[in-house]
Structure 1
Amino acid sequence: MNMNINFNTFSILGGDLPPALRDAINEVESNTKAPRALVVSAALSALSTVGQGLINVQVPTTHSLRPCSLWLITLAESGERKSTIDRLFAAAIIEFQQRHATLLAKAWNDYRVEHKIWKAEEAALLKQLTRLGIRHGNGGDDLRVQIKVHAAREPIAPKAPKLLYEDCTIEALQHQLFGAWPNAALASNEAAVIFKGHVSQHLPVLNKLWDGDDVDIDRMTRESFTVKDARLTLSLMSQPKPFQDFVQRNDGEARSLGFLARALVCQPFSTQGMRFIDRPVTSWEHLPKFQRQLAGLLEQSVSTDGEPLPERETMVMSEEASQCWILYYNRVEQQSGLGGCYANCKDHAAKLADNVARLAALLQLLDGGEIISLQNVERSIVLVGWYSNEFIRLFCPPPPIPQVDLDLNMLNDYLSRLRGQGCRYVAKNYVRKYGPNALRNKQRLDPVLDRMVQLGWITLWLDEKKSKYMDLWPLLIFDQGGWEKRLVR
């Protein structure tokens, strides 16, 4: 994994986004001076957390429904204002959770009292059954019926919409998705604790949640259950070192099992040392508007009876948008072949079109309407493409240049200087004596000379004494009678 190259720009996000999202991103970046990629990832995480409970997206090729959850992993050193950015964009979600928890406080108190009464009644019925003897007859059959009826009347705990989880095991998260609220975000601005924890032991489960598949939880000592139709956003901000350790753990399972391929990963260029104050008063105009839009969408994700929406709305691409998406899919597929830019990261390439569809649906959710526009597909292709470049930069760097090619460039520079001095015929021993130090060794020099001959840059020949010479201008007519007089030796 190449974690050293750390230069990138994010100018592609300058303006072509839905206005509310664009203006909020620009304002937060301007006021905090945090890296733009960090700001954008936090904004998309908030949008995914909110939107995943409202919509699915229909993929043009198979017409299958896909979740709209995004996984975003942002790598930044300490001091890059990860916590600040995370709090700013998560504010609407936190306020939504707190307000609904307050509204449900009385319902929870009533539930606890009713459940205690129910437990007491259950204990009384079971005690009666014990007195009669646990066998059929003697009135026991009627009592069994009463116990079954009573069990069916167990009070149901009110569901409070809890979306954000930080210090949470995967097992606890699964239980919450099953019994509490089916839409969640595993979000942390200090995700080292997550990467160092048990996440690596549950990557297949997380992958299933990204795919929208059911997750069966089998237990020996407790009741088994199945997580159905759940949605999970990942918003993980971490320093590079803990993430690098996570990626390398267990022989690189995070990559081989497809966890990283599903994620939009970036490592922004640091802005530390350039975060100057350019005005004394900070204006917050656009972020609150974006937060209000998120808050409105969050309210739509709760049904009138306080339950999660039974069905999500299906977002469908327009005909133009579908054609654009298919063209993008085919181009990615083409570049996954031998010699293509995705040849060494086919796992990542296989998820790109899916991420484009998800993001396009989320952007359309902000714009309004059920039909995804061509503009939002194009926006998503550009944005996902930037994250794709980051993935290639971090995980699929180009192979090192072979030493013979480096030597080829070195020798060509030297011979070009000789050509510039009017030299044409040069003895090999002259190069070994006066040429680049690294190439004065025969084992290093000979393969380079052979490559130059193959390329037609020089010709080589031997005289009767087996001495080797080279012609630096092989396309010119060879001076059969006078080459020795012009020889550089």
Structure 2
Amino acid sequence: MKNDEVIDELIAHEDNKPIRPKLSFVKFEGGTPEGLMQSLCENIPNAMQSSSEGGNALNTKASSKTGQSNSFWSGDTVLYNTKSEGERAIVDGRLTINIMVQPAALAGFLKKSSTDVRGNGFLSRYLVCAPISTCGGRYEAGIKFTNDNIDALNAKVTELLTKVAELEDYTNRKTIHFSREAKVIWIDVFNDIEFKMGVGGMYQYARDHASKLSEIIARLAALLHCFEYSMDEDISSETLLEAIRMVAYFSGQFMKVFCAPPKYVTDAENLKCWFGGYVNSGRRYLKKNDILKFGPSGTRKKASLDVALGYLKSNCHIGEFLFGRTMVIDLLPMQPSNEAVIRQELSINVVF
């Protein structure tokens, strides 16, 4: 066979190569940012990162590109460069992230992260859930529960994903609106959150988180509406109120995980609970040194104890005075002092 014939056959073969089908949905656990970007370019740009072992997902290179995740969340066009094809663009992409992670793995990610994931708003875009562990209370009663509700949920999710896969033009998205009543409620919530970001407000030190709450509420309300009702209808005030209740819970979880109070506040609360045992037994006065010996572990050093006691005194929960050479803690400072009771109780050693 002559060279020209071989070349012609190769050209014909190349012209007749099959067209690679586009996936309507891409699911991945880890990988590289480049791999994710390539998948979203080659397929319909709908992707989900999901992992029940969040330590693995957060330690991948993909998790280091938090800015790209923020752009997907905002619906912006995401640009990235490749060695072979130069700059490519992902237009109108959607990226869903669902990660289950242990506290230690999350702490490691936050410590090693190359970017400020609080400062750039990455964590503020998540719905955070950190419920109290049920270990020690998961007793088996021999009751078999039905899966009907779970099956119905899965069927509905499958239906919605199928509709997305069948779209001929994924960019032709439908816009749904609030009803008039719902719009008034949403504006009130927006203003309330804005007020609470001010000095002394509950979100004063979590403004990154609070700045996204209004939009998250609107998005969640839209999701609930599309899941339950026709997209030809407006979002009702009832659906919006349900979204507000859900986001309020997730916001509380975020504050618990990422905006924990200072150590001295936690120490003070632990002391307050510890003091409660003495008060309930009828005791009013304690030697300060006894707290260093028998108190909560966080306050068995003088420096930590002094700060925690100072916090409790500033809130009038306790009093502190010198009795002879002994520093005494008064657990009921609003009541009249009684020297006889002081002498009696300071000679009693009761440990809780």
The CA deviation string for residues 49-96 of structure 1, in whole angstroms up to 9 with x for no partner, is: xxxxxxxxxxxxxxxxxxxxxxxxxxxxxxxxxxxxxxxxxxxxxxxx
Q: C-alpha distance in 1, partners of 2:189/2:165?
A: 35
Looking at structure 1, the residues matched to 291 and 133 of structure 2 have their Cα atoms a distance apart, in angstroms, of: 40
1:166 pairs, out of 29, 37, 41, with 29
Q: Which residue of 2 aligns with 1:395?
A: 258
Tell me if the contact between 1:118 and 1:154 (Cα under 8 Å) persists in the aligned partners: no
Stretches of structure 1 lacking an aligned partner (at least 5 in a row): 1-116, 124-149, 422-430, 461-471, 477-487
Choose which of 289, 295, 302 in structure 2 pairs with 1:437. Answer: 289
Identical-pair percentage: 28
Map 1:314-333; keep pairs closer than 5 Å.
314-333=175-194
Change (3 A) 1:121 1:237: same
> Which residue of the other structure, out of 135, 153, 176, is the alignment partner of 1:290?
153
1:129: which partner in 2?
Answer: none
Q: 167, 170, 173: which is aligned to 1:312?
A: 173
**Unmatched segments (≥5 aa) in structure 2:** 1-7, 293-302, 322-331, 337-342, 344-352
1:246 to 109, 128, 148: 109
1:296-337 CA distances to partner (integer Å, 9 max, x unpaired)? 22232234xx64533111111111111111111111111111
**What is residue 27 of structure 1 aligned with on the other side?**
none
Question: Partner amino acid for 1:324?
Answer: I
1:16-27 maps to which residues of 2 (within 5 A)?
A: none
- Residue 225 (structure 2) pairs with residue 373 (structure 1): no
What residue number does 1:358 align with?
Answer: 219
Amino acid at match of 1:345: A
Kept after mapping to 2: 8 A contact 1:188/1:235: yes
* Matched ranges for 1:209-288 at <5 A: 209-250=72-113, 253-273=116-136, 274-280=138-144, 282-288=145-151
The match for 1:340 is 201
SS of the residue corresponding to residue 296 of structure 1 reads: helix
Please give the alpha-carbon distance, in whole angstroms, between the structure 2 residues aligned to 1:277 and 1:160.
Answer: 45
Output aligned runs, 1:455-466, within 5 Å: none
Q: Give the Cα–Cα distance (whole angstroms) in 2 for the partners of residues 179 and 336 of structure 1.
A: 42
SS state at 1:348 partner: helix
Equivalent residue, structure 1, for 2:329: none
- Counterpart in the other structure of 2:12: 121
Higher Rg: 1
Q: Deviations over 1:248-276 (max 9, x none)?
A: 22476222221111111122222334141
In structure 2, the partner of 1:299 is 162
The 2-side partners of 1:172 and 1:393 are apart by: 34
Return the offset for 1:218: 2.1
Counterpart of 1:377, as a letter, is L
Map residues 95-106 of structure 1 onto 2, 5 A cutoff: none
Cα pair 1:184 1:231 within 8 Å, conserved: yes
Q: Distance in 2 between matches of 1:343 and 1:310?
A: 38
Equivalent pairs counted in the alignment come to 322
Alignment partners' CA distance in 2, 1:454 and 1:181: 58
In the alignment, the residues of structure 2 paired with residue 350 and residue 158 of structure 1 have an alpha-carbon distance, to the nearest angstrom, of 40
Give the CA deviation at 1:291.
2.1
Choose between structure 1 and 2 for higher RCO, CA contacts under 8 A separated by at least 6 residues: 1
| Alpha-carbon shift at residue 403 of structure 1 (Å) | 11
| Matched AA of 2:76 | D
Does residue 175 of the first structure (1) align with residue 38 of the second (2)? yes
Aligned-pair distance for 1:158?
2.2
Q: CA deviation at 1:353?
A: 1.0
Q: Is the 8 A contact 1:207 1:259 kept in 2?
A: yes
Residue 240 of structure 2 is aligned to residue 349 of structure 1 = no
TM-score normalised by the chain length of structure 1: 0.53
Deviation at 1:122, TM superposition (A): 8.5
Output the CA distance in 2 between the equivalents of 1:473 and 1:165.
60
Per the TM alignment, residue 475 of structure 1 is displaced from its structure 2 partner at its CA by 12
**C-alpha displacement at 1:238, in angstroms?**
2.0
**Deviation, structure 1 residue 349:** 0.6
Separation in 2, partners of 1:171, 1:409: 53
Pair 1:323–1:199, CA change in 2 (3 A): same
Equivalent residues of 1:247, 1:255 under 8 A apart: no
In the superposition, relative to structure 1, how do residues 392 and 157 fare at CA in structure 2: closer, same or farther (>3 Å)?
A: same
CA contact 1:357–1:377 (8 Å) conserved in 2: yes
User: What letter matches 1:436 in structure 2?
Assistant: K
Deviation at 1:223, TM superposition (A): 3.2
Aligned to 1:199: 62
Letter in 2 for 1:378: L
**Change in 2 beyond 3 A, CA 1:396/1:230:** same
Q: CA-to-partner distance for each residue in 1:386-443, whole Å, 9 max, x for gaps?
A: 111011111111223379989x989x99xx9xxx99xxxxxxxxx9xx9432799xx9
